[in-house]
Amino acid sequence: MPRPAEALLDVINDWGVDRLFTCPGSTEAAVLDALVLREDVELVLTTHEGVAVSMADGLARVTRRPTVAYLHANVGLTNGLSNLGAAQLAYSPVVVLNGIKPSSIQAREGFTTARRMRDLVHQYVKSDWQSLTAQAIPEDVNRAFRTAVTEPAGPVWVALSQDLMESTADVGVPDAAAYRFDSRVRPAPDAVRAAADLLAAAERPVLVAGGELARVGAVDELVSLSERLGAPVLHEDRRGFERPGFPTDHPHFRGQYEVGHPLVRRADLLAFLGARVFNEFEPARVPPLPTGVPVVHSHTDPRHVGMIYGVDAALIGDQRLVLEALSTALSKALPPVPPREVPPAAPAAPRAPSASGGPLQPADVVDVITDSLRGSAIVGDATTAGGILQQRAHQHTGDDYFVSTSGSLGWGMGAALGVAMGMPHRHVAAVLGDGVFQFGLPALWSAARGGLPVTYVVMNNQSYAAVGAALRRYGGEAVARQRYPGVDIAGPRIADVSTAFGVPGRRVDSLADLRECLDAARTVDHPTLVEVMTDPTTFGP
Amino acid sequence: MPRPAEALLDVINDWGVDRLFTCPGSTEAAVLDALVLREDVELVLTTHEGVAVSMADGLARVTRRPTVAYLHANVGLTNGLSNLGAAQLAYSPVVVLNGIKPSSIQAREGFTTARRMRDLVHQYVKSDWQSLTAQAIPEDVNRAFRTAVTEPAGPVWVALSQDLMESTADVGVPDAAAYRFDSRVRPAPDAVRAAADLLAAAERPVLVAGGELARVGAVDELVSLSERLGAPVLHEDRRGFERPGFPTDHPHFRGQYEVGHPLVRRADLLAFLGARVFNEFEPARVPPLPTGVPVVHSHTDPRHVGMIYGVDAALIGDQRLVLEALSTALSKALPPVPPREVPPAAPAAPRAPSASGGPLQPADVVDVITDSLRGSAIVGDATTAGGILQQRAHQHTGDDYFVSTSGSLGWGMGAALGVAMGMPHRHVAAVLGDGVFQFGLPALWSAARGGLPVTYVVMNNQSYAAVGAALRRYGGEAVARQRYPGVDIAGPRIADVSTAFGVPGRRVDSLADLRECLDAARTVDHPTLVEVMTDPTTFGP
């Protein structure tokens, strides 16, 4: 029988995991040592725990399988927390193993211990536990995987103290296969019937596709449903959007949900499928749901349904099973549901070309990015340009565009590397803000080390433009004096920082140069970065 | 009467605080707007919350006054936590104000909210609170200052929701002066007498000086006591050391506490004054206290006394008052305490010069650093070279050398800026490891922006040498195969990264070039960085 560290790697491997993302300390010696002889689990070294967690998250998002981040002590955990929040919101089954100091010095409040480690993490995980004996480690880790992948999936945390991990005890390894089962559920028949009745009776239903559809692979089912119903489809509200639940190039696609959208204004039924209703950025200035329009809300996670707004029909369960059940119920409806005609899309407003010669405008830059990177998977982590990017990025599948609703700046720099690991035949780009860049930049080390051909595009407006926009909305002395404290972060030559990290960078200030850089980036077999200078006075919405 | 944001700045200023360290988001619009018209409180913008906290900590350490870090939402708090741990261990009265989302969306689990924010922070602060009304904000913040500075001092946390901060209510401002009082305490007379009796009776007492003496300005009192007693003085154990409690150039100074130290082996009394006993890195291999030798332990914070080892006399209270009381008690002792002769220091072992031509050895580099930077204040944040640095750095006062026992890598990069702000007439250098550098590097932005003449010295061994040392101690497959996973972090050209951030950097690989760089750095009025390449195979202890 193996020792604890070997058994732990056996469990990990039994769950199909072949990488372990970490930024280790001395506490993790046993597992590092056990990795020396393993061919089945690769150590992916990072230089910051935030990168370890976001890489594990990105990989889980595309493979839809569990991943492992191994953190170090209380300091490593706190450094990884904000990106763990991102993994949680994405339902990523990231198993966080946390090396902690030997039991005896925990009690004595020794170096890098915390009396209540679990208070730090419990809000970000489905389960938190500290193994109490060496014998329990394989079982505890196995249970962590089982809990992480059970739907709704999500991160789980297990603390492993150094004394137990270095124990010479032989320990048993559970049979992981016996803990893997299909945990998806379907709504009760009445609930399906009620929702189907509403859909069948509606004359102008609008379907709102949430990122959860993409996570569980239910996008095709929504395409069928929308075609069956002749119903237009919107992506969910911007603040809840994490990935596309419907192809933007489908003839039924009509943009993104907002209460003022013409189709929403004329709708007689709204069906939110795998969507948040809503992830509020601030208290709504206008009610985000039209008055008197029935609402169907479907989500894998019951936590979201009825969280803020009451519903007329609720569907709790796996979104693919939900859509299949709905489809079956609709096919049995009497009288048969007639196909409706989807209202034509509003003609795109001609986009006024920006005056040439001035500083680049974010919208023009986004146009070049989304045009040049058509076919690439894009990870978005740009606070103020994010809205435009989301509207214009090509999203044919649920794996074409990824963002986080966590507000964890810098998440995208590591997540893009995990996404690239999970899609080795696909070009991956990360579109970042310059503020974001400073939060995630140890990811450049991992990019260089891994040689992953990820393209980082940093839109450098030299500003915390979101803060500027907030001050403008606030309308106080900042506006009166045209002085915006806390906004100007000009200075770093981001392309040069990147080059110094081993990721060749180039700064551009024309759209032609940007296009040339992006075209070149797609053909090389290593990471690159392009820093595009944009107008610092465009604060965004 | 002012509105909440103005009142908050009034309270801050009433407590003598003229800087507010922040990395803001939209949630903080009200306070940013209020700052537009203020001349009495300066916004110190940072590009990462870890930097905001460590700057506030560094400034508090040297000014011994409260400072303010204003964090953003749950993401900003988690990003700042590991450095908040450093502030806590240093008893720095950092008042952490935390902008949080409006009350209504907190309940709805909106963007960047957390249901239990306080669980994240309570272990790192003396008090955590969320203001419940706009009217309460000035009072809550005032109370936070009062709690932070009351001895033993430490960080305090107050969450301020956006709706309350943006309220148009007029609010009262408490009279801060009425909340400032001398909170220092002295031990009971019996306790002083018991300790004095032990000291008077001992023939070979050894005094162990802790960083707490430096914090409360009691170093001179220890000098007097050691001279009065004719007792040798050691700095506290390396793992508990945060700043020098005794001048290294005093004739009674005899090095650093360890149980094998010749003076400890012959001692008949050990008096730990303002020291940790002990901050354990791992379970002790040999007992860290000699058997049968009486122990006096004195600390401001009762938490440390008797935490691990029993004591023969305990002195709880302000360390200056404790030393004064001890001195008075000793002067009354009958028979009078005879002055003893301090045993001579062991002759320094001649240091073998390293073979020239090979890679630079950390010890040689540290010799050049400590020699060239004699007179500068040094902030140490180098994991494996830290031990040598601590032994060799010149420490005439309690403000000559600062480290953190928190294990929060990167802390020193921001802390050095705060230290420099607090000592404008002093040259400040930060000595860092290359691993550390990647954790703290947004501090370079603040260094460049602030133009503070801090010198960053990065000892680049291209390794997590502490991990390598741990694997070597572990003595398993890594040693057998001479393969050390998780150690090699070679790659970044750190000097170039720094230059790209606006802090001119230079890479050197000879001691002569290092010396030249350091000499030049002390004469310029802006920050600089020198990256010195050292031997990647020297893993350290």
pLDDT at residue B502, as a whole number: 98
The structure's pTM equals 0.98
- Which strand (E) or helix (H) includes residue B235? strand B233-235
Q: Which residues of A touch B26 (CB under 8 A)?
A: 282, 466-467, 469-470
Taking the CB of residue B487, how many other CB atoms lie within 10 A of it? 25
pLDDT at A496 over 70: yes
Helix B319-331 vs helix B189-201: angle between axes, to the nearest 10 degrees?
60
Tell me the three state secondary structure of residue B208: strand
pLDDT in tens, B318-374: 999 999 999 999 998 878 887 788 988 888 777 766 767 789 999 999 999 999 999
d(CA A213, CA A275): 8
Taking the CB of residue B122, how many other CB atoms lie within 10 A of it? 16
Mean pLDDT taken over chain A: 96
- Best B409, B487, B499, B507 member to test A by mutation, with max A CBs in 10 Å, is B409
pLDDT at residue A1, as a whole number: 82
d(CA A490, CA B498): 15
Is the bond into A278 cis (omega within 30 degrees of 0)? yes
d(CA A214, CA A199): 22
- Best A82, A117, A125 member to test B by mutation, with max B CBs in 10 Å, is A82
| Cβ pair A404, A381 in contact under 8 A | yes
Tell me if A79 and B439 make a contact (CB, 8 A cut-off). Answer: yes
Taking the CB of residue B461, how many other CB atoms lie within 10 A of it? 30
Measure in Å the smallest separation between the Cα of B349 and chain A Cα atoms: 30
- Best A21, A22, A31, A32 member to test B by mutation, with max B CBs in 10 Å, is A32
Backbone angles phi, psi at A117, to 5 degrees: -50, -40
pLDDT at residue B335, as a whole number: 80
Q: Which residues of A touch B439 (CB under 8 A)?
A: 47-48, 79, 442
pLDDT at A36 over 90: yes
Q: How far is CA A458 from the centre of its chain?
A: 19
Tell me if A105 and B78 make a contact (CB, 8 A cut-off). Answer: no
d(CA A383, CA A440): 14
pLDDT in tens, A356-403: 778 999 999 999 999 999 999 999 999 888 999 999 999 999 999 999
Helices assigned H by DSSP within B277-356: 319-331
d(CA A251, CA A232): 9
pLDDT at residue B353, as a whole number: 65
Give this complex's ipTM: 0.97
Find tokens 């915006």 and name the residue.
A484
Residue A397, exposed/middle/buried by CB under 10 A (0-12, 13-18, 19+)?
middle
Residue of A nearest to B464 (CA): A25
CA dihedral A363, A364, A366, A367 (to 10 degrees): 120
Structure tokens at B24: 């803001």
| Cβ pair A238, A387 in contact under 8 A | yes
pLDDT in tens, A438-489: 999 999 999 999 999 999 999 999 999 999 999 999 999 999 999 999 999 9
Q: Which residues of A touch B30 (CB under 8 A)?
A: 474, 476
pLDDT at residue B115, as a whole number: 96
Find tokens 């982590």 and name the residue.
A381
Tell me if B24 and A406 make a contact (CB, 8 A cut-off). Answer: no
How far is CA B441 from each of CA A73, A275, B7, B87, B330, rounded to the nearest angstrom?
21, 38, 34, 19, 50
Give the residue from A104, A37, A94 showing the smallest Cα distance to A71.
A94
- Which strand (E) or helix (H) includes residue A117? helix A117-121
- Best A21, A280, A381 member to test B by mutation, with max B CBs in 10 Å, is A280
pLDDT in tens, A278-323: 999 999 999 999 999 999 999 999 999 999 999 999 999 999 999 9
pLDDT at A146 over 90: yes
Give the max Cα distance, chain B: 73
Smallest Cβ distance to A29: which of B75, B405, B471?
B471
A–B CB contacts, 8 A cutoff, strictly below: 269
> Can you list the residues of chain B whose pLDDT is less than 70?
352-353, 355, 541
d(CA B137, CA A204): 49
Structure tokens at A449: 């080390």
d(CA B485, CA A39): 13
Q: What is the DSSP letter of B406?
A: S
Residue B196, exposed/middle/buried by CB under 10 A (0-12, 13-18, 19+)?
buried
Tell me if A123 and B119 make a contact (CB, 8 A cut-off). Answer: yes
Structure tokens at A79: 């450094």
Structure tokens at B186: 């002295």
Tell me the three state secondary structure of residue B30: helix
Number of H helices, E strands in chain B: 22, 18
Q: Which residues of B touch A279 (CB under 8 A)?
A: 110-111
- The answer for residues whose C-beta is within 8 angstroms of residue A261's C-beta and 6 or more apart is A234, A254, A255
Backbone angles phi, psi at A287, to 5 degrees: -55, 130
d(CA A422, CA A180): 21
pLDDT at residue B541, as a whole number: 62
Q: What is the DSSP letter of A282?
A: S
pLDDT in tens, A88-144: 999 999 999 999 999 999 999 999 999 999 999 999 999 999 999 999 999 999 999
Please list, residue by residue across A36-58, b when 16 or more beta carbons sit within 10 angstroms of its beta carbon and e when fewer do: bebeebebbbbbbbbbbbbbbbb
d(CA A108, CA A187): 50
Backbone angles phi, psi at A350, to 5 degrees: -60, 130
pLDDT at residue B336, as a whole number: 82
Residue B64 region by backbone torsions, left for phi larger than 0, else alpha for psi between -120 and 50, else beta: left
Strand residues in B330-447 grouped as ranges (E): 377-381, 401-402, 428-433
Smallest Cβ distance to B33: which of A445, A478, A502?
A478
Tell me if B162 and A282 make a contact (CB, 8 A cut-off). Answer: yes
- Which strand (E) or helix (H) includes residue A420? helix A411-422
pLDDT at residue B340, as a whole number: 86
- The answer for residues whose C-beta is within 8 angstroms of residue B446's C-beta and 6 or more apart is B44, B45, B46, B47, B51, B55, B414, B417
Q: What is the DSSP letter of A383?
A: T
Residue A309, exposed/middle/buried by CB under 10 A (0-12, 13-18, 19+)?
middle
Smallest Cβ distance to A282: which of B37, B105, B409?
B105
pLDDT at A334 over 90: no
Tell me if B105 and A485 make a contact (CB, 8 A cut-off). Answer: no
DSSP string for residues in A210-230: -HHHHHTT-HHHHHHHHHHHT
